[in-house]
Structure 1
Amino acid sequence: MASHKKVFAVVGPKGGVGKSTISANLAIALATMGRKVTLADLDLGAANLHALFGIRDTGHTIDDFILKKVKNLSDIIVDTEVHNLKFICGGSQIPNIANMPYQQKVKLMYHLMKLESDILIVDLGAGSSYNVVDFSFMADIGLFVTTPEVTSLMNVYSFIKSAVYRRLTFHFKSENSYEVLELLEKAKDVDSNPHLNSMEKFFREAGAIDPDSVHAAKKILSEFIPHIAVNRVQTSSDANVGTVIQGLLQHYLSIESRILANLPEDIAVKKSINKMKPVFIDNPSSEFSVGIKELADKLMLC
């Protein structure tokens, strides 16, 4: 989504990996660097990011905008105690909000983009619902959070794979390339179609059907570069797990990725959460806070 504003989507396909903790502290780090930051809780249906800021009474939430109780997102934006950082509380009162129509998602992101800030950070929900996938598309950078556990790593890989297939589906539909779409559907079932078990093999067969559309699809994928943060790192072995995802993404999906951070397991994080206070404020010299500052610096160079 083209704009002078940088948009970061923080994605944690597996719940409990520290995604919201990273979102909150990253927003603070960027704000202390002099950027005007808006942090939006888009964990629709299960929002809790406000608790990390000690906000007990959320007042207006994003539900009020979706339900048209307020006209503008600026009506629900909250000032935080951090200079340059504003916050939009997520909601949890709308049934089936996890299945929001695509055009409604586009409208919501459009209004988020209109807010006056240098950086917009959207904290997305867990899982691989179309809500999460589509909002991640709309960002300049998707930051995928995992822990060293195999289940967490595989959830990140599966999410990115789902995102790739959804992006390609949109593309081939727009090109009216229905024969290639049928092939793409077959490629999703690797057990029945092992000859299509990688993007390279899919493109090889699809290129014989519609070479121009496939050429454009390859360009689309070349511009999709997942950025990965490994959280709760305790050992040197943990610090190397990001390369496992990189290898899978390159081999099976033909996409490049970048490891931006290995954030340490740090008792200071748990203590700050219990205080309902971000660790970057509560203990700025902690190992985790130092890692967040380094992550913020790297993101500003992307």
Structure 2
Amino acid sequence: MFVAKTINAYQEYYENTFKSGQIGFVPTMGFLHDGHISLVRESVKNNDFTVVSIFVNPKQFGQNEDLAAYPKDFNRDRERLETEGVDLLFFPDEVEIYPEKNQLSIHILPEFTNILCGRFRDSHFEGVALVVLKLFNIIRPDNAYFGQKDYQQFQLIQTMIDEFNLAIKLHAMPIIREKSGLAMSSRNSYLSPSDKLLAANIYKGLLHIEEQVMANNLSLKDVSLEYTNYLKLKSDKMKMQYIEVYDRRLKPLSQLETGNMFMGTAVFIGNVRLIDNILF
């Protein structure tokens, strides 16, 4: 596996090795878990070459978020990717991606940023869109793989591909969960063993809401109160930030649409913020 730390090094490798084959791309921020590896395996299986990037993007973190503390283990990540058959690891530093003050930015309409995580993470999705667009232009993939856990992010990237006429096929891969049901996340490393068990109730609560909605025991307008009460019964340590229901394109629902619904939530356990969602 070749490790490219600069854009020039990647471009040279691309011209010499990748140019004639189909490229799959998995962008990550590192500290890889089995969820990331499921994306890598899908890419390796379905492409001639697979590229993985590790870059902790400062532009998608807010002032009081965990940029400085975000977990890292480059050597472990490199070994895992090499074992999985990845052809190239793109590992740039911040100066390589943002060499000087940006003169251009990406503006996202409020109808997208004023829902779900966008309501609470100012300029987060502008930062996501900017770095992904830059990475797409650098890597020049045919296929890109994203996890469903960051569902709002996936929908944003799909919209960007459509509206900017990018010749990339986007693939959403299912959430990989721990045995308890907790969605795998690099931020799970912040949790104590007891808090990890507690965090499994985030997903169990979503399943409870789904069951109640589908049995016509709960209206869409009462979802937030029911979910809050569910979490409180488990522990006062869990604080819901939001729970919202949309169709699968993240458009408002006027009524139940079985098979076309998305429900997403963000929950704090102490100062650790975790997200999860289900489709139903």
Q: Which range, TM-score by smaller chain? A: 0.3 to 0.5
TM-score of the superposed pair, with normalisation by structure 2: 0.35
Q: Which has the higher helix share?
A: 1
Higher relative contact order (CA 8 A, sep 6+): 1
TM-score of the superposed pair, with normalisation by structure 1: 0.33
